[in-house]
């Protein structure tokens, strides 16, 4: 204890280190408090937590350089010889020095935790799971990440020259900065070299912390992030033990080896597939992953199935990602092959018949073909698959799987992604199916089907939606509204949320939905993904402006381009002219281009007439012509 006091006094007497520490503490706390008391921002717990977590990278760098300077300074002081004179003096000196830094780090974390805790209690959130979420985020991002940098600084003090240590710290700072991610994008686009696995390993900033918060999910405290930082901490600790151990000392070598083995084990766990929210530049897992995938020579197909699915029995297992055992009952038992659509992020490991015999199958992109091995009837098929989606996630922290997303096998081949607008098509079946769903998940799961308890659901519908996370529910006139409770603020209360949704339902009674489920808004879902209506429920990803969202989704995929051009013409005519000129410059003809044909018809028949007739066409569910066919026939 006496030695810790000595080393603490050395820290406090170093004016430069002390002043820098006080300035950093004051700056970060003051900036966080601004998000609490700002008159321009509605007070909400999640944005306040986001402000704290944005200091992850600065805090890591601050403690890296301050720790290095402190541990170097103390070695040159008169206390060093005193500390070194005892048994295991050098080890004791480093243990005590690191202990002082950890106490300072703990104080820093406590201040951020106090601010976020005060907001939590002030807003009367009353959900312990979210309070634990705050604590885990502060612990992971503002304690463990800087703790790793303290260990790194301790290791670097053994460099022979100070300049060498600073070069290594600068390189580390660069590799852990957002700039490295931008360079990763250049490598991928210009040199076709994928380095994002390396980028991710050096990225300690919470994913999506600079984006609009995902209110049903919060910020990632998934196991892989703890494993990532654990790899670094145990590896650095192993090096520190090794250099501090007396030469040839067996206990030091064994302890170092154990730490390295733990680090290796954590690394092997870290690299396992995981369903995560990644809004980085990563072309395979980031914000543009789906757009990039479907643009790179992926041929989407449309083929109507020669069979009908009559029943689904599905068990979903939610861990780091989703794994499922899906049994589908078939109406036509004697086909040679059966075609299904399943999002390509879910990899099928095997398919069996009702007796457990393996069936031959192929999986290409989103399409699965299952072959009947013999002439015997095939009344049931069971698929075993696992994986994740980029935009629609499923992990132990949360689930967001809307009914139109093919995370379970659907009959026939479907073109599920619209590359022109960059979003998923909302395919919904016309017929209802019998569903028997079990979700093995540590959190409560909500579904549009009847809840049997213990995350088990049964019922009839033309689609199933699953959500989990920071959710609450409320019954209004026989309709259950399932929404993220973090939406609530002092000025946007639960009553206002219910009022917005109930007002929309009252204006549209023909929808006849029994549940309204608010799904997570990840990666700026395109307008036509923001609301989807099924036979028994409705998915939305925002609560305000439901009328506009409903209008957007009423237009089918083959008409959507025409609607966008007309909206642009009406509201942003200059942009419309720019797009039109670009289309002409591309050498397209009116018979090939919806835009050029629209412009030709407006010049010939008049703008008001064409727009009026186009709107009738857009919202006529019985008119299945494409936009180009409609315009060509318009007189």
Which pLDDT belongs to residue 524?
56
Question: Among 448-452, 503-507, 516-520, 614-618, whose mean pLDDT is lowest?
Answer: 614-618
Residue that the structure tokens 């700056």 belong to:
27
pLDDT of 627 above 70: yes
Question: What is the pLDDT at residue 63?
Answer: 96
The CATH number of the structural domain formed by 303-553 is 2.60.40.1730
Helix/strand/coil for 285: coil
pLDDT digits (tens, 9 = 90+) for 572-623: 888 888 888 888 887 777 677 888 888 888 888 888 888 888 888 888 878 8
Q: Which of 451, 447, 484 is nearest to 466 (CA)?
A: 447
How much is the average pLDDT of 315-330? Answer: 95
From the list 50, 30, 26, 46, the residue with the least C-alpha distance to 38 is 30
Least confident interval from 257-266, 289-298, 556-565: 556-565
Half-sphere exposure of 321 (CA within 13 A, CB side): 19
pLDDT of residue 173: 94
Whether the pLDDT of residue 272 is over 60: the answer is: yes
Lowest mean pLDDT across 220-234, 448-462, 571-585 = 571-585
Q: Quick check: 346 pLDDT over 90?
A: yes
pLDDT of residue 241 exceeding 80, the answer is: yes
Residue 86 has pLDDT above 60, yes or no: no
Q: Which of 149-158, 375-384, 538-547 has the highest mean pLDDT?
A: 149-158
Answer whether residue 92 shows pLDDT above 80. no
Percentage of the chain beyond pLDDT 70 is 95
Q: What one-character DSSP code corresponds to residue 358?
A: B
What are the residue boundaries of the structural domains of the chain, listed by start?
Answer: 1-158, 303-553, 557-633
Residue 413: enclosing H or E segment and its boundaries? none
Of 21-30, 432-441, 536-545, 576-585, minimum mean pLDDT range: 576-585
Q: What is the mean pLDDT of residues 511-538?
A: 83
Mean pLDDT, range 489-498, rounded to an integer: 82
In this structure, what are the phi and psi dihedrals at residue 238, rounded to the nearest 5 degrees? -60, -45
Does 484 have pLDDT greater than 90? Answer: yes
Whether 78 has a pLDDT exceeding 60, the answer reads no
The helix-helix angle for 145-156 and 56-75 (nearest 10°) equals 30
Q: Is 60 exceeded by the pLDDT of residue 248?
A: no
Percent of the chain at pLDDT exceeding 90: 48
CB of 526 closer than 8 Å to CB of 553? no
Whether the predicted pLDDT of 491 surpasses 80: no
Task: Report the candidate in 294, 43, 348 with the shortest Cα–Cα distance to residue 338.
Answer: 348
The string of DSSP letters for 171-207 reads HHHHHTSHHHHHHHHHHHHHS----HHHHHHT--SPT
- Percent composition of the chain: helix, strand, coil (DSSP 3-state, to 5): 50, 20, 35
Residue 382 vs residue 2, higher pLDDT: 382
- What average pLDDT is seen over the chain? 88
Residue 490 has pLDDT above 80, yes or no: no
Reported as a pLDDT band with limits 50, 70 and 90, residue 545 is confident
Over 70: is that where the pLDDT of 292 sits? yes
Q: Is the dihedral of CA 45, 50, 53, 54 positive or negative?
A: negative
**339: pLDDT strictly greater than 90:** yes
| Tokens, residue 152 | 């790194």
pLDDT at 115: 96
Neighbouring CB atoms inside 10 A of 10's CB total 19
Q: Does pLDDT of 335 surpass 70?
A: yes
pLDDT of residue 117: 95
For residue 532, pLDDT over 70 is answered with yes
pLDDT at residue 296, rounded to an integer: 79
* 403-422 pLDDT, tens digit each: 999 999 999 999 888 877 77
Q: Label the pairing between strands 515-518 and 466-468.
A: unpaired
Q: Would you state the pLDDT for residue 482?
A: 94
């Amino acid at each position: 204890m006496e030695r810790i006091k000595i080393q603490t006094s050395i820290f406090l007497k170093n004016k430069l280190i002390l002043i820098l520490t006080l300035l950093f503490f004051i700056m970060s706390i003051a900036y966080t408090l601004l998000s609490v008391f700002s008159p321009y921002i509605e007070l909400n717990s999640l944005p306040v937590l986001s402000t704290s977590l944005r200091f992850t990278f600065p805090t890591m760098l601050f403690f890296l350089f301050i720790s290095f300077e402190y541990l170097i300074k103390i070695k040159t002081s008169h206390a060093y010889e005193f500390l070194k004179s005892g048994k295991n003096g050098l080890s004791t000196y480093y243990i005590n020095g690191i202990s002082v830094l950890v106490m300072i780090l703990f104080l820093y974390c406590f201040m951020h935790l106090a601010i976020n805790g005060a907001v939590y209690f002030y807003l009367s959130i009353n959900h312990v799971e979210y309070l634990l979420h705050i604590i885990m985020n502060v612990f992971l991002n503002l304690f463990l990440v800087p703790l790793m940098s303290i260990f790194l600084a301790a290791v670097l003090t053994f460099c022979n020259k100070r300049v060498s240590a600073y070069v290594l710290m600068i390189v580390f700072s660069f590799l852990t900065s957002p700039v490295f991610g931008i360079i990763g994008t250049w490598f991928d686009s210009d040199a076709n070299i994928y380095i994002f696995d390396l980028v991710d390993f050096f990225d300690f900033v919470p994913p999506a912390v600079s984006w609009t918060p995902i209110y049903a999910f919060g910020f990632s405290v998934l196991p892989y992030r703890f494993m990532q930082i654990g790899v670094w901490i145990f590896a650095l600790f192993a090096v520190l033990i090794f250099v501090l151990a007396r030469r040839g000392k067996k206990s030091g070598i064994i302890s170092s080896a154990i730490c390295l083995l733990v680090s290796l084990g954590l690394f092997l766990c870290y690299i396992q597939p995981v369903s995560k929210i990644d809004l980085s530049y990563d072309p395979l897992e980031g914000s543009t992953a789906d757009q990039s995938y479907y643009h790179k020579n992926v041929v989407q197909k449309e083929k109507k199935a020669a069979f009908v699915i009559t029943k689904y029995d599905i068990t979903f297992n939610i861990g780091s990602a989703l794994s499922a055992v899906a049994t589908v009952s078939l109406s036509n038992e004697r086909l040679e092959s059966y075609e299904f659509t399943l999002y390509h992020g879910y990899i099928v490991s095997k398919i069996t018949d009702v007796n457990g015999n393996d069936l031959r199958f192929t999986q290409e992109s989103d399409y699965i073909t299952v072959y009947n091995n013999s002439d015997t009837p095939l009344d049931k098929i069971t698929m075993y698959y696992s994986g994740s989606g980029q935009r629609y996630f499923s992990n132990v922290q949360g689930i967001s799987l809307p009914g139109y997303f093919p995370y379970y096998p659907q009959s026939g081949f479907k073109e599920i992604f619209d590359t022109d607008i960059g979003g998923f098509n909302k395919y919904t079946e016309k017929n209802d199916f019998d569903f028997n769903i079990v979700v093995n998940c540590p959190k409560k799961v909500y579904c549009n089907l009847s809840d049997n308890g213990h995350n088990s659901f049964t019922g009839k519908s033309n689609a199933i939606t699953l959500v989990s996370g920071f959710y609450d529910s409320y019954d209004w006139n026989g309709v259950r509204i399932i929404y993220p409770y973090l939406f609530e603020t002092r000025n946007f209360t639960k009553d206002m949320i219910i009022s917005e949704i109930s007002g929309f339902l009252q204006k549209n009674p023909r929808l006849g939905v029994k549940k309204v489920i608010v799904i997570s808004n990840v990666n700026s879902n395109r307008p036509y993904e923001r609301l989807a209506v099924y036979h028994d429920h409705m998915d939305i990803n925002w609560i305000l402006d439901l009328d506009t969202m409903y209008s957007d989704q009423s237009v089918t995929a083959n008409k959507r381009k025409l609607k966008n051009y007309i909206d642009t013409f009406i509201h942003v005519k200059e942009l419309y002219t720019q797009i039109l000129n670009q289309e002409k410059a591309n050498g397209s003809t009116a018979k090939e281009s919806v835009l050029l044909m629209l412009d030709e018809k407006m010049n010939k028949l008049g703008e008001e007439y064409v727009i009026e007739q186009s709107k009738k066409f857009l919202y006529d569910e019985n008119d299945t012509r494409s936009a180009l066919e409609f315009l060509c026939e318009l007189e």
